[in-house]
Amino acid sequence: MRLVVRTDGGLSEARIAGAAGIETGMDLMQIDLDAVRERLEDLPNVRRAIVTRTLPDQLLVAVEEHIPVAWLSCPPQGIRARSRDRGLLIDELGTVFRCLGGTSEADALPVIDAYRIARPVEGGIVESREVHAALALIDRSDRLFDGRGLDIEEVRVKNEWSLECLYRDGMTVTFDRHQVERGLDDLSLIVDKIRTTPLQIATVNVAVRKNIPVTFQGEVDWERLSEAEAALPGADPGEETGEAILDRREKHLRSILSGG
Protein backbone atom coordinates (compact mmCIF):
# COMPACT_ATOMS: atom_id res chain seq x y z
CA MET A 1 0.00 0.00 0.00
CA ARG A 2 1.19 3.52 -0.86
CA LEU A 3 0.08 6.33 1.43
CA VAL A 4 -0.28 9.84 -0.05
CA VAL A 5 -0.85 12.68 2.43
CA ARG A 6 -1.90 16.21 1.57
CA THR A 7 -2.46 18.95 4.13
CA ASP A 8 -2.79 22.74 4.14
CA GLY A 9 -1.22 23.17 7.58
CA GLY A 10 1.75 22.17 9.70
CA LEU A 11 0.94 18.55 10.58
CA SER A 12 3.65 16.20 9.34
CA GLU A 13 2.94 13.13 7.23
CA ALA A 14 4.20 10.90 10.05
CA ARG A 15 1.88 12.51 12.59
CA ILE A 16 -1.11 12.23 10.26
CA ALA A 17 -0.33 8.58 9.48
CA GLY A 18 0.06 7.81 13.18
CA ALA A 19 -3.21 9.48 14.12
CA ALA A 20 -4.98 7.69 11.27
CA GLY A 21 -3.65 4.32 12.40
CA ILE A 22 -2.05 3.62 9.04
CA GLU A 23 0.98 1.32 8.98
CA THR A 24 3.20 -0.04 6.25
CA GLY A 25 2.07 -3.40 4.93
CA MET A 26 -1.64 -2.97 5.66
CA ASP A 27 -4.11 -4.44 3.21
CA LEU A 28 -5.60 -1.52 1.30
CA MET A 29 -8.99 -3.21 0.91
CA GLN A 30 -9.24 -3.96 4.65
CA ILE A 31 -8.86 -0.33 5.74
CA ASP A 32 -12.05 1.25 7.09
CA LEU A 33 -12.04 4.66 5.39
CA ASP A 34 -14.71 6.15 7.65
CA ALA A 35 -12.84 5.07 10.77
CA VAL A 36 -9.63 6.63 9.47
CA ARG A 37 -11.47 9.88 8.71
CA GLU A 38 -13.06 9.98 12.16
CA ARG A 39 -9.71 9.41 13.89
CA LEU A 40 -8.17 12.28 11.94
CA GLU A 41 -11.08 14.61 12.61
CA ASP A 42 -10.71 13.88 16.33
CA LEU A 43 -7.42 15.80 16.22
CA PRO A 44 -8.04 19.34 17.55
CA ASN A 45 -5.94 20.76 14.71
CA VAL A 46 -8.05 19.17 11.98
CA ARG A 47 -11.14 20.84 10.56
CA ARG A 48 -11.94 18.14 7.99
CA ALA A 49 -10.41 15.00 6.50
CA ILE A 50 -11.10 13.14 3.26
CA VAL A 51 -9.86 9.57 2.85
CA THR A 52 -10.07 7.81 -0.51
CA ARG A 53 -8.79 4.52 -1.93
CA THR A 54 -7.39 4.23 -5.45
CA LEU A 55 -6.58 0.83 -6.88
CA PRO A 56 -4.31 -0.91 -7.07
CA ASP A 57 -2.36 0.35 -4.04
CA GLN A 58 -2.95 4.00 -3.10
CA LEU A 59 -4.60 5.47 -0.02
CA LEU A 60 -5.05 9.25 -0.29
CA VAL A 61 -5.50 11.28 2.91
CA ALA A 62 -6.37 14.96 2.43
CA VAL A 63 -6.45 17.05 5.61
CA GLU A 64 -7.85 20.54 6.03
CA GLU A 65 -6.39 22.04 9.21
CA HIS A 66 -7.51 24.93 11.36
CA ILE A 67 -5.26 27.80 10.26
CA PRO A 68 -4.10 29.83 13.27
CA VAL A 69 -4.36 33.61 13.23
CA ALA A 70 -3.16 34.27 16.80
CA TRP A 71 -1.94 32.80 20.06
CA LEU A 72 -4.33 32.77 23.01
CA SER A 73 -2.89 33.79 26.35
CA CYS A 74 -4.63 33.39 29.72
CA PRO A 75 -2.05 33.41 32.55
CA PRO A 76 -4.54 32.58 35.35
CA GLN A 77 -5.26 29.30 33.53
CA GLY A 78 -1.61 28.61 32.70
CA ILE A 79 -2.08 29.28 28.96
CA ARG A 80 1.12 30.91 27.74
CA ALA A 81 1.58 32.53 24.34
CA ARG A 82 4.17 31.02 22.00
CA SER A 83 4.71 28.06 24.33
CA ARG A 84 4.77 24.62 22.74
CA ASP A 85 3.90 23.03 26.09
CA ARG A 86 1.37 25.48 27.54
CA GLY A 87 0.24 27.52 24.55
CA LEU A 88 -2.90 27.46 22.45
CA LEU A 89 -3.40 28.71 18.92
CA ILE A 90 -6.72 30.11 17.75
CA ASP A 91 -8.22 30.32 14.26
CA GLU A 92 -10.51 32.98 12.78
CA LEU A 93 -13.62 31.21 14.09
CA GLY A 94 -12.29 30.99 17.64
CA THR A 95 -11.32 27.29 17.56
CA VAL A 96 -8.37 26.57 19.88
CA PHE A 97 -5.71 23.89 19.46
CA ARG A 98 -2.11 23.21 20.39
CA CYS A 99 0.85 24.03 18.19
CA LEU A 100 2.10 20.66 16.98
CA GLY A 101 4.77 22.02 14.67
CA GLY A 102 7.84 24.17 15.19
CA THR A 103 7.24 26.72 12.47
CA SER A 104 8.48 30.30 12.58
CA GLU A 105 5.12 31.34 11.09
CA ALA A 106 3.41 30.38 14.35
CA ASP A 107 5.96 32.29 16.43
CA ALA A 108 5.28 35.42 14.39
CA LEU A 109 1.52 35.40 15.04
CA PRO A 110 -0.01 38.09 17.28
CA VAL A 111 -1.18 37.32 20.81
CA ILE A 112 -4.68 37.74 22.28
CA ASP A 113 -4.25 38.22 26.01
CA ALA A 114 -7.39 37.55 28.09
CA TYR A 115 -7.56 37.02 31.84
CA ARG A 116 -11.24 36.24 32.33
CA ILE A 117 -12.45 33.51 30.00
CA ALA A 118 -14.03 30.12 30.48
CA ARG A 119 -11.44 27.36 30.28
CA PRO A 120 -11.11 26.55 26.56
CA VAL A 121 -11.37 22.98 25.32
CA GLU A 122 -8.98 21.86 22.59
CA GLY A 123 -10.85 21.58 19.33
CA GLY A 124 -13.71 23.70 20.69
CA ILE A 125 -14.60 27.35 20.18
CA VAL A 126 -13.55 29.74 22.93
CA GLU A 127 -16.51 31.21 24.78
CA SER A 128 -15.67 34.90 25.01
CA ARG A 129 -17.21 37.82 23.14
CA GLU A 130 -14.11 39.85 23.89
CA VAL A 131 -11.79 37.27 22.33
CA HIS A 132 -14.00 37.12 19.22
CA ALA A 133 -13.89 40.93 19.04
CA ALA A 134 -10.08 40.72 19.24
CA LEU A 135 -10.08 38.22 16.36
CA ALA A 136 -12.22 40.61 14.29
CA LEU A 137 -9.84 43.45 15.14
CA ILE A 138 -6.80 41.46 13.97
CA ASP A 139 -8.51 40.45 10.73
CA ARG A 140 -9.80 43.92 9.85
CA SER A 141 -6.59 45.69 10.86
CA ASP A 142 -4.48 43.33 8.75
CA ARG A 143 -6.69 43.97 5.72
CA LEU A 144 -6.87 47.73 6.26
CA PHE A 145 -3.15 48.28 6.84
CA ASP A 146 -1.84 45.63 4.44
CA GLY A 147 1.49 46.82 3.07
CA ARG A 148 1.58 49.88 5.33
CA GLY A 149 3.90 48.48 7.99
CA LEU A 150 1.30 48.26 10.77
CA ASP A 151 1.33 44.71 12.11
CA ILE A 152 -0.27 43.74 15.40
CA GLU A 153 1.93 42.33 18.16
CA GLU A 154 -0.73 41.84 20.85
CA VAL A 155 -4.38 42.54 21.64
CA ARG A 156 -5.18 42.82 25.34
CA VAL A 157 -8.72 42.34 26.58
CA LYS A 158 -8.80 45.14 29.15
CA ASN A 159 -12.42 44.78 30.24
CA GLU A 160 -15.83 43.93 28.80
CA TRP A 161 -15.92 46.99 26.54
CA SER A 162 -12.35 47.86 25.49
CA LEU A 163 -9.42 46.28 23.66
CA GLU A 164 -5.84 47.55 23.81
CA CYS A 165 -3.90 46.84 20.63
CA LEU A 166 -0.10 46.96 20.51
CA TYR A 167 1.34 47.42 17.02
CA ARG A 168 4.89 46.39 16.22
CA ASP A 169 5.95 49.95 15.40
CA GLY A 170 5.44 50.88 19.07
CA MET A 171 1.94 52.36 18.74
CA THR A 172 -0.72 51.41 21.30
CA VAL A 173 -4.37 51.88 20.36
CA THR A 174 -7.47 51.58 22.55
CA PHE A 175 -10.65 50.38 20.80
CA ASP A 176 -14.28 50.11 21.84
CA ARG A 177 -14.88 46.39 21.22
CA HIS A 178 -18.41 47.17 20.02
CA GLN A 179 -17.12 49.64 17.40
CA VAL A 180 -13.92 48.11 16.08
CA GLU A 181 -14.60 49.00 12.44
CA ARG A 182 -15.34 52.65 13.21
CA GLY A 183 -12.24 52.82 15.40
CA LEU A 184 -10.07 51.42 12.62
CA ASP A 185 -11.47 53.98 10.17
CA ASP A 186 -10.57 56.78 12.59
CA LEU A 187 -7.13 55.26 13.18
CA SER A 188 -6.46 55.05 9.45
CA LEU A 189 -7.26 58.75 9.01
CA ILE A 190 -5.00 59.69 11.92
CA VAL A 191 -2.13 57.50 10.69
CA ASP A 192 -2.38 58.97 7.19
CA LYS A 193 -2.38 62.49 8.64
CA ILE A 194 0.60 61.88 10.93
CA ARG A 195 2.65 60.21 8.19
CA THR A 196 2.91 63.59 6.44
CA THR A 197 4.73 64.92 9.53
CA PRO A 198 7.89 64.05 11.49
CA LEU A 199 5.75 62.71 14.35
CA GLN A 200 5.53 59.10 15.51
CA ILE A 201 2.43 58.04 17.43
CA ALA A 202 2.79 56.51 20.89
CA THR A 203 -0.85 56.08 21.92
CA VAL A 204 -4.28 56.65 20.40
CA ASN A 205 -7.70 56.19 21.98
CA VAL A 206 -10.23 55.62 19.20
CA ALA A 207 -12.80 54.32 21.67
CA VAL A 208 -13.99 57.93 21.78
CA ARG A 209 -15.63 59.57 18.77
CA LYS A 210 -14.46 63.19 19.11
CA ASN A 211 -11.29 64.90 20.33
CA ILE A 212 -9.41 61.63 20.00
CA PRO A 213 -6.54 61.57 22.52
CA VAL A 214 -3.15 61.02 20.87
CA THR A 215 0.33 61.10 22.35
CA PHE A 216 3.59 61.05 20.43
CA GLN A 217 6.89 59.29 20.92
CA GLY A 218 9.51 61.71 22.15
CA GLU A 219 9.17 65.46 22.40
CA VAL A 220 7.17 67.12 19.62
CA ASP A 221 9.08 69.71 17.58
CA TRP A 222 6.14 71.87 16.53
CA GLU A 223 8.31 74.15 14.40
CA ARG A 224 9.65 71.23 12.38
CA LEU A 225 6.11 69.89 12.16
CA SER A 226 4.88 73.20 10.80
CA GLU A 227 7.61 73.30 8.16
CA ALA A 228 6.77 69.75 7.06
CA GLU A 229 3.07 70.47 6.71
CA ALA A 230 3.67 73.78 4.94
CA ALA A 231 5.69 71.86 2.34
CA LEU A 232 2.82 69.54 1.47
CA PRO A 233 1.32 69.74 -2.07
CA GLY A 234 -1.19 72.59 -2.28
CA ALA A 235 0.32 74.52 0.61
CA ASP A 236 1.36 78.12 -0.04
CA PRO A 237 3.85 79.19 2.64
CA GLY A 238 3.90 82.68 1.17
CA GLU A 239 0.41 83.34 2.47
CA GLU A 240 1.45 83.11 6.13
CA THR A 241 4.55 83.71 8.18
CA GLY A 242 6.31 80.67 9.59
CA GLU A 243 5.19 81.67 13.08
CA ALA A 244 1.54 81.93 11.97
CA ILE A 245 1.71 78.53 10.25
CA LEU A 246 3.19 76.99 13.39
CA ASP A 247 0.45 78.47 15.56
CA ARG A 248 -2.34 77.41 13.19
CA ARG A 249 -1.02 73.87 12.63
CA GLU A 250 -0.40 73.29 16.33
CA LYS A 251 -3.89 74.46 17.28
CA HIS A 252 -5.38 72.38 14.47
CA LEU A 253 -3.68 69.15 15.50
CA ARG A 254 -4.30 69.72 19.18
CA SER A 255 -7.98 70.50 18.67
CA ILE A 256 -8.58 67.40 16.54
CA LEU A 257 -6.27 64.93 18.24
CA SER A 258 -5.91 66.40 21.73
CA GLY A 259 -2.35 65.15 21.81
CA GLY A 260 1.26 66.18 21.66
Q: What is the pLDDT of residues 130-171, one digit of tens each?
A: 999 999 999 999 999 998 889 999 999 988 899 999 999 999
Of the candidate CATH numbers 3.90.550, 2.40.50, 3.10.450, 3.40.50, the domain formed by 128-260 belongs to 3.40.50
State yes or no: pLDDT of 62 exceeds 90: yes
CATH number of 2-65, picked from 3.40.50.300, 3.60.20.10, 3.10.20.310, 3.40.50.720: 3.10.20.310
SS (H, E, C) the chain: CEEEEEECCCCCHHHHHHHHCCCCCCCHHHCCHHHHHHHHHCCCCEEEEEEEEECCCEEEEEEEECCEEEEEEEHHHCECCCCCCCCEEEECCCEEECCCCCCHHHHCCCEEECCCCCCCCCCCECCCHHHHHHHHHHHHHHHHCCCCCCCEEEEEECCCCEEEEEECCCCEEEEEHHHHHHHHHHHHHHHHHHCCCCCCEEEEECCCCCCCCEEECCCCCHHHHHHHHHCCCCCCHHHCCHHHHHHHHHHHHHHHHCCC
- How would residue 256 be classed by pLDDT, with cut points 50, 70 and 90? very low
User: Rounded to two decimals, what is the model's pTM?
Assistant: 0.76
Residue 101 binned pLDDT confidence (cut-offs 50, 70, 90) = low
Position 209 pLDDT exceeds 70 = yes
